[in-house]
Structure 1
Amino acid sequence: MTRLRHRPAPDVRVEIRGELPREDAEYARVRALETAAGLGPDARALRLRLTRSRDRSVARPALAQADAVVAGVGPVRVQLATGTARESVDLALGTLAGRAVRLREQGDIGFAVAYESAYRPQFAYRPLAQRRIARHKAVVPARRTPGQAVLELLALDRRFHLFADAATGRDSLVHRCSPDGSVELCAAGTGALPPLDLAEAARRLWLTGRPFAGYTDSGDGRIRVLYRRFDGHYGLMVPVSDGRIGAGTLSAQH
């Protein structure tokens, strides 16, 4: 007698933030289930987060973030925004599925992703005096070669990726250089980034209008990344060894 082994169904979760018509929320759930099924038996989990912004300064208020975990590939992430919820859902899930297939079959996602820059989420306008660090993110950098770090940055759809160099163990940063977020990769290790304090990093971030500022902390000599959040505030990424981070403050005068 032959026993058939059934793989467990992938864990599919849909999170709705903001007010959306019930039909749009249901559409998002159906499309997430269809996408998970289309990824095949290697799909372990899929999460779709749909956010509708009320900020009138944002021209593309419907933001969809899709994350999946695929066996043999690892985590894959896409974050794109359009004018309507359904369009964002279709674009994000379709891009996620294509990216996962490319990673599984060819080991990379290629460099034909510049078109996505037209759908990058926008930063909400917030007066300088109101900005603050809304999130302190402690990370334990994983040891990676620069090539592995670049692949992870692309697979996770990030603007920057903090890692520990596999050969030296030192903090390193790989990031997208193009202002529009299209693929043009640069790398910087400890010593290649300017030594700054938090206030000066924030001042440079404000003056340049870039989405993030990487720098070497003048206190402990480790890399920090101060980045803009889509709500107009800032986030601070700090490498740690045990996952703990101090509170930290940022003056509005920068």
Structure 2
Amino acid sequence: MNRRHTSIALDPGDVQVEAHGAIAAAAADDARRMVAGLTSTAHEPVLHARVKLGASADPAVARPCTAQANIDVNGRIVRAQASAESMHRAVRLLGDRLQIRLRRTARDWESLRGRYSADADHEWRRSSPPRPPLPYFPRPAGERRIVRHKAYELARATVEEAAFDLEQLDYDFHLFTEALTGQDSVICRSDDGYRLAQLDPQPHRLGPTSVPLTVSAMPAPVLDAAEAAERLEITGLPFVFFTDAATGRGNVVYHRYDGHYGLITPSA
């Protein structure tokens, strides 16, 4: 029986747009109309849509314009983001990535999410080209602070499921609890697939995976948030995964678009 919902596109006026930096009104309207039109491709009701547009004033940033969309599809979040040399181009790239992800909102994708077999059809990975890391404002090191703290219950998932969620949400990294080892872990893209880091790496317990995967052999360093931010600054990495010295849980400190830092922790 076909349970698919016949979607009705949101009205452009129902799409919330947030602008950071010098964003032309025409660009905001363009993004609003594009996202509203694409909501008709979802297979379930779209409850809310939000777009964030940002422009860096630093001439040294090669792709200073960023566009991000967050769509609530019947309670499930679909997310996409893009960066480009112009806002017009960033919005167009965002539309391409968002269209791919909205097509996945059919319930049929739930069966793809949990596949384990080596010959599984990972269309969800191949259909979306790799996205360059989003630029962030080169704020002087002495001015950088942790300005946002997000705490949520980590999803318990296999590596394959975490990789799917990473792609579906268009994240640069994904913090989760690995189902077979019970460990807080982080997954991100690598040149040849995905890379996994864990509090105490136990690759032998992961079993065979159907996505190309490398596992870091190094345990997550035991730090507090300030020490993790310092390590982030020293290494130049996009994020640092660490074991919180107080809770023993996996945390991530990362670079924000505004040049400050963000902190992600598991909820109590």
TM norm structure 2: 0.74
Q: What's the CA shift string for 1:26-52, capped at 9, x where partnerless?
A: 222222222122x14535243322223
Quick check: 1:77–1:157 contact (8 Å CA) kept in 2? yes
- Tell me the equivalent position of 1:247: none
Alignment partner, residue 68 of structure 2: 65
Map of 2:131 onto structure 1: 116
1:150-161 aligned at under 5 Å gives the runs: 150-161=163-174
Which residue pairs with 1:136 in the alignment? 149
SS in structure 2 at match of 1:88: helix
- The letter of the residue matching 1:25 is A
Structure 2 residue aligned with 1:224: 251
Q: Is the 8 A contact 2:125 2:167 kept in 1?
A: no
Query: Does the 8 Å contact 2:7/2:44 carry over to 1?
Result: no
**Mapped contact 1:57–1:124 kept (Cα < 8 A):** no
Distance of 2:27 and 2:7 partners within structure 1 = 30
Equivalent residue runs for 1:8-47 within 5 Å: 10=10, 12-17=14-19, 18-37=21-40, 39-44=41-46, 45-47=48-50
Amino acid across the alignment from 1:189: Q
Correspondent of 2:195 among 186, 203, 222: 186
The gaps in structure 1 that reach 5 residues or longer are 242-254
| 8 A contact 1:63–1:79 mirrored in 2 | yes
How far apart are the structure 2 equivalents of 1:232 and 1:141? 26
Question: By how many angstroms is 1:115 displaced?
Answer: 4.7
* Identical-residue share of aligned pairs (%): 35
Shift of 1:92: 0.3
Report the AA paired with residue 209 of structure 1.
G
Which consecutive aligned stretches of 4+ in structure 1 deviate over 4 angstroms post-superposition? 5-12, 102-106, 112-115
> C-alpha separation between the residues in 2 aligned to 1:66 and 1:41?
18
| Corresponding residue to 2:81 among 79, 93, 101 | 79
Q: How far off is 1:133 after superposition?
A: 0.7
Q: Which residue of 1 aligns with 2:101?
A: 99
SS in structure 1 at match of 2:31:
helix
What CA distance in whole angstroms lies between the structure 1 residues aligned with 2:180 and 2:235? Answer: 33
Residue 159 of structure 1 and its aligned partner are, at CA, apart by 1.7
Alignment-derived partner of residue 234 in structure 1: 261
Would the aligned equivalents of 2:17 and 2:32 in 1 still touch at CA under 8 Å? no
Cα distance in 2 for partners of 1:26, 1:199 equals 40
Q: Aligned letter for 2:124?
A: I
On the 8 A contact 1:14/1:32 being kept in 2, the answer is: no
- Which residue is equivalent to 1:205? 232
Amino acid at match of 1:158: Y
Select 1:164's aligned residue among 167, 173, 177. Answer: 177
Distance (whole Å) between structure 1 residues aligned to residue 198 and residue 6 of structure 2: 46
Q: Select between 230-239 and 10-19 the one with higher mean Cα deviation.
A: 10-19
Distance in 2 (alpha carbons) for counterparts of 1:173 and 1:23: 38
C-alpha contact (below 8 Å) 2:50/2:70 kept by paired residues: yes
Contact 2:9 2:37 in 1 (8 A): no
Q: Deviation string for 1:141-185 (max 9, x for gaps)?
A: 12222221111011111121111233454322222345xxxx731
Q: Structure 2 unaligned runs (5+)? A: 113-122, 201-218
- 1:221 deviation in Å? 1.3
Asked if structure 1 preserves the Cα contact closer than 8 Å seen for 2:7 and 2:45, the reply is no
Mapped to 2, the partners of 1:165 and 1:115 lie a distance apart of 24
Q: For 1:233 and 1:177, how far apart are their aligned partners in 2?
A: 24
**What RMSD in Å do the two structures reach over aligned CA positions?**
2.8
1:54 aligns with 2:69: no
Equivalences, count: 229
User: What code does the residue aligned with 2:69 have?
Assistant: A
C-alpha spacing 1:139/1:7, structure 2 compared with 1 (3 Å): same
